[in-house]
């Protein structure tokens, strides 16, 4: 990331001829660049530089939250995310980032509550992903109907969401709506193949069960081979073995 700046040998910072807002924004961009290069010290320094210019720079608190999360300081990460959200309660990106951290910490109720706000923001460019995240949080709380509605809405907004397509196929299969389950799983396969992404054990087992119901033996054999070859120690493969033994 290239920024127009003049390095000062005494402080290691840079002189910005533009406004204070621009200086703060430049510091945030530098912080993100250091973060992406796994230099947490440099990222923290530049995020704090941004706050020295203006202590209400929302993105600087988000960077500090990401740093704290990567370093394992969950309380500090949570505090910085909450500070960012408090500066602009309508900032969906800040709420979405906070929700992602909460989900990773298995704080599903809190994640769900944040994502409800985000998903309701029709102007947010990540609205479809917010609905997908909402569905995932709902699943972890066994709110199956809420999860289904969220995944359906996510796919209405963006038909290329892998997780939403896969999870919806599993939900429909569990409800014995086999044709809908297969339709969503076929959508999942199309997206995976187009993006050239690897299957997860969960997705492979789902395909084995769904396509097995429709006696698509050729595809089932391929999926079993991939699961047994790449993920022989996974819980999904162990489950497949138990299902095979039961039959």
pLDDT (tens digit, 9 = 90+) per residue, 104-130?
999 999 999 999 999 999 999 999 999
Predicted TM-score (pTM) of this structure: 0.83
Report yes or no: 98 and 116 within 8 Å, Cβ to Cβ: no
Cβ neighbours around 220 below 10 Å, total: 18
| Residue from 169, 164, 89 nearest 129 by CA | 164
CA distances from 202 to 44, 226, 235, 240 (A): 37, 12, 9, 11
Domain locations in the chain? 1-87
Higher per-residue confidence, 192 vs 2: 192
6 beta partners: 15
Sorting pLDDT into bands at 50, 70 and 90, what band is 141?
very high
Number of helices followed by number of strands (H, E) in the chain: 13, 2
Mean pLDDT across the chain: 90
| CATH code, residues 1-87 | 1.25.40.10
Q: How far is CA 56 from the centre of its chain?
A: 26
């Amino acid at each position: 990331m290239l920024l127009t700046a003049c390095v000062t040998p005494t402080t290691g910072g840079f002189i910005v001829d533009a406004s204070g807002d621009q200086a703060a924004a430049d510091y945030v961009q530098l912080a993100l660049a250091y973060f992406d290069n796994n230099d947490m010290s440099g990222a923290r320094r530049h995020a704090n530089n941004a706050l020295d210019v203006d202590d209400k720079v929302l993105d600087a608190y988000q960077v500090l939250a990401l740093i704290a999360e990567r370093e394992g300081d969950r309380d500090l990460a949570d505090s910085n995310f909450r500070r960012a959200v408090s500066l602009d309660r309508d900032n969906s990106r800040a709420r979405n980032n906070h929700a992602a951290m909460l989900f990773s910490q298995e704080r599903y109720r809190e994640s769900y509550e944040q994502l409800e706000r985000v998903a309701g923001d029709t102007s947010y460019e990540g609205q479809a992903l917010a609905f997908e995240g909402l569905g995932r949080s709902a699943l972890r709380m066994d709110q199956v109907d809420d999860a289904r509605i969220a995944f359906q809405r996510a796919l209405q907004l963006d038909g290329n969401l892998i997780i939403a397509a896969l999870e919806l196929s599993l939900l429909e299969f569990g409800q014995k709506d086999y044709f809908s389950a297969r339709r969503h799983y076929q959508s999942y396969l199309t997206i995976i193949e187009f993006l050239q992404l690897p299957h997860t054990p969960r997705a492979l087992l789902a395909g084995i069960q769904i396509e097995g119901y429709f006696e698509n033996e050729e595809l089932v054999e391929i999926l079993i081979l991939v699961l047994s070859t790449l993920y022989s120690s996974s819980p999904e493969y162990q489950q497949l073995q138990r299902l095979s033994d039961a039959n």
